[in-house]
Amino acid sequence: MSSPSTRHGTVPAGPADPVDVPGTGTAVLEIRDLAVHYGGVKAVDGITMTLAEGGISGIIGPNGSGKSTLVAALTRLTRLTRGELTVGGTRYERVRPGRVPGLGIARTFQTVRLLGDLSVAANVQLGYDARSRAERRAPLRGLPGPVAEALERTGLTDVARARPSELSYGTQRRVEIARAIVMDPRLLLLDEPTAGMNAAERVEISALMRQLRSEGLSQLLIEHDVQMMLDTCDHLFAMAQGRLLTEGRPADVVADPRVQEAYLGKGWKADAADQ
Ligand SMILES: Nc1ncnc2c1ncn2[C@@H]1O[C@H](COP(=O)(O)OP(=O)(O)OP(=O)(O)O)[C@@H](O)[C@H]1O
């Protein structure tokens, strides 16, 4: 595949091995001493993370460890108690949520949020229309190039005219990813994209994420499925009680006794780390 040109610059097509490709060495997102307290609840309490450009970073942590709050902070949907956020070199911890897509951060949600009355192509076009006011006035006859490209990159061209209800759950998830990448983000946040999926659909989403990485897209994956994290991520962060426990190569992080201690079911993590 040729190196795609994005509004954030031309990116090199990378090899597919998730362990050997931790990113380009440049940070796409930097989080410094981030805290979100709800009254006395320290949902996130002093997190510092650097996400490598061009890589797939993952966050694991038991229920209530602060993952969703961290995503809400990164997308500016929750107020920070303190901390700094930098994307593509731009500080953004004070910007309004509506400006976040314009900074190059796109996301998918824990639940499918597609418009059932619209075709797959029209749902994806909503993301394209959101790119800028000027583009929203562009003629909608036929599919704009970026919409067709997003459909192709996510393997949806053949179902472009279908309604979401006609598609499997896994395919609906891919439509959401298409809608996010049509914005040409510098970073894609995926919040539990395989929740409710069967094993085959999880493998499919993991493969799609690795394909998007080979096309140069930086991604942050929040996911409970540790095997999916091992199969997909270049770098893993483990959270517990609002803090960062450890980070590093996924197999090393999953095997870390502190990480296993943080979960109740320790056995399956040891199994996953052995693979
Ligand atoms: N709006 C809120 N007000 C008060 N406490 C909150 C709020 N949102 C989250 N919390 C608390 O903050 C902590 C972290 O919650 P969060 O949902 O971020 O964890 P999580 O790791 O995403 O959990 P899960 O894996 O179950 O989604 C929890 O103790 C939660 O009860």
pLDDT tens-digit map of 7-66:
554 333 333 333 344 455 689 999 999 999 999 999 999 999 999 999 999 999 998 999
Based on the fold, state whether residues 191 and 275 are members of the same structural domain.
yes
Q: Parallel, antiparallel, or unpaired for β 56-60 and 218-222? A: parallel
Distance of CA 132 to the CA centre of its chain: 21
127 lines ligand 1 (CB under 6 A): no
Angle, to 10 degrees, between the axis of helix 145-153 and the axis of helix 169-181?
A: 140
Which domain covers residue 179, as residue numbers? 111-184
Based on the fold, state whether residues 70 and 95 are members of the same structural domain.
yes
**Does residue 79 form part of some domain?**
yes
Pull the structure tokens for residue 239.
């959270």
Distance of CA 24 to the CA centre of its chain: 17
216 lines ligand 1 (CB under 6 A): no
Pull the structure tokens for residue 60.
């694991």
d(CA 173, CA 110): 10
Residue nearest atom 18 in ligand 1 by C-alpha distance: 66
Query: If you measure from the C-alpha of residue 245 to the centroid of ligand 1, how many angstroms do you get, rounded to a whole number?
Result: 17
Distances (CA, A) of 23 to 27, 45, 104: 9, 27, 17
Residues 80-98: tens digit of each pLDDT: 999 999 998 899 999 999 8
Domains in the chain: how many in total? 2
Pull the structure tokens for residue 22.
């931790």
**Does residue 16 form part of some domain?**
no
Q: Which residue in the block uniquely carries the two structure tokens 């996010």?
A: 180
pTM assigned to the model? 0.84
Residue nearest atom 13 in ligand 1 by C-alpha distance: 43
67 lines ligand 1 (CB under 6 A): yes
- The one-character DSSP state at 90 is E
Report pLDDT for 140.
Answer: 40
Residue nearest atom 31 in ligand 1 by C-alpha distance: 64
164 lines ligand 1 (CB under 6 A): no
Q: Which residue in the block uniquely carries the two structure tokens 């930097």?
A: 30
For the chain, list residues with pLDDT below 70.
Answer: 1-25, 129-141, 264-275
Based on the fold, state whether residues 146 and 258 are members of the same structural domain.
no
Based on the fold, state whether residues 76 and 199 are members of the same structural domain.
yes
**Does residue 228 form part of some domain?**
yes
